Amino acid sequence: MNGKINIPEMLSVEKLRPFEGHPYKVLDNGEMDDLTESVRENGVLSPLIVRPLEGTDEYEVISGHRRLRAAERAGMQSVPAFVYEINRDEAAVLLVDSNLHREHILPSEKAFAYKLKMDALAHRGVTCGQVGHKSRDGISDTDSGRTVQRYIRLTKLIPELLQMMDEGRIAFSVGVELSFLSEQSQRDLLDAIDLSDCTPSYSQAVRLHKADREGLLTDAVIEGIMREEKANQREMFRLPMEQIRKYVPNANPKQAEDFVLKACEYYKNFLIRQRDRDSR
């Protein structure tokens, strides 16, 4: 990459700016607490990647938003960073590519990351073919062109439904189908979800999409579909993923569920052993 300085510079935290519109969430959660403690004890071991902002003495962060936040929380005044003399489109591609390898990435992050990279490549005049089917090499090295297209569709979801996807309450395939609904129809569906206390199945999402496409989707149709009894209407106990991630930081929703169930089984056996000891 032209303009890369091989030796990292120590840059003032006050002169670093987040990449405008970057898709990755920087949350003050259990993972951030652990990262902050690590930075406080060892410093920032992996330098950030930044680019100079034209006409200023400031820099835009390309890679390292979470490390920067941890450094700020740890009270550090400066952090190591590699400086790249590149434009915003080049930076957008680098930002996406340097973060997609993360072990845990939310559906919303991946959706907006793919869109950011696709738009940046389009601005640079790079042809991605039919983004839905032939963009694998241009957008992703791991997901097929069709999968890339489906992720980008998720950017059409209203924030509330996208949050449900991130929490594992709505499956990927369901989210894709719902993304074709108008914003108002998605809002109406959100009301129906709150009323029924359940989310649509894939079959229901397909029918909602079909009705919308045919101009037949009304409040009554949405309510009728959502009132149907299905598996996820059974009584459920829910925990926010953020509460579980401090114990299993890299788990997906299914792995987190397995962890909670095993923890419950372990605690149940512990109580049985304790009861048996007390009765002796």
Tokens of 196: 């029924």
Maximal C-alpha separation, the chain: 79
Of 199, 190, 113, which is closest to residue 151 (Cα–Cα)?
113
- pLDDT value at residue 199: 93
- pLDDT value at residue 130: 44
Q: Is the dihedral of CA 96, 172, 157, 259 positive or negative?
A: negative
Instruction: Answer yes or no: are the C-beta atoms of 77 and 12 closer than 8 Å.
Output: yes
- pLDDT value at residue 71: 95
Task: Show the DSSP H helices in the chain as ranges.
Answer: 30-42, 65-73, 88-99, 107-123, 136-139, 145-153, 159-166, 172-178, 183-196, 202-213, 219-226, 241-245, 253-278
> What does the pLDDT look like over 69-127, one tens digit per residue?
999 999 999 999 999 999 999 999 999 988 777 767 889 999 999 999 998 888 766 55
CB proximity list for 134: less than 8 A, separation 6 or greater: 128, 145
User: How, if at all, do strands 16-17 and 9-12 pair?
Assistant: unpaired
Output Rg (C-alpha) for the chain, integer angstroms. 23
- pLDDT value at residue 13: 95
Give the helix/strand (H/E) hosting 60: strand 59-63
CATH class entry, domain 1-87:
alpha beta
Of 23, 178, 52, 44, which is closest to residue 111 (Cα–Cα)?
23
User: How, if at all, do strands 59-63 and 16-17 pair?
Assistant: parallel
**In the chain, what are the domain boundaries?**
1-87, 157-233, 243-278
CA distances from 221 to 28, 129, 157, 184, 211 (A): 40, 38, 20, 14, 8
Q: Which residues of the chain have pLDDT under 50?
A: 2-5, 129-137, 232-233, 235
CA atoms lying within 13 Å on the CB side of residue 157: 29
Q: How many CB atoms lie within 10 A of CB 244?
A: 19
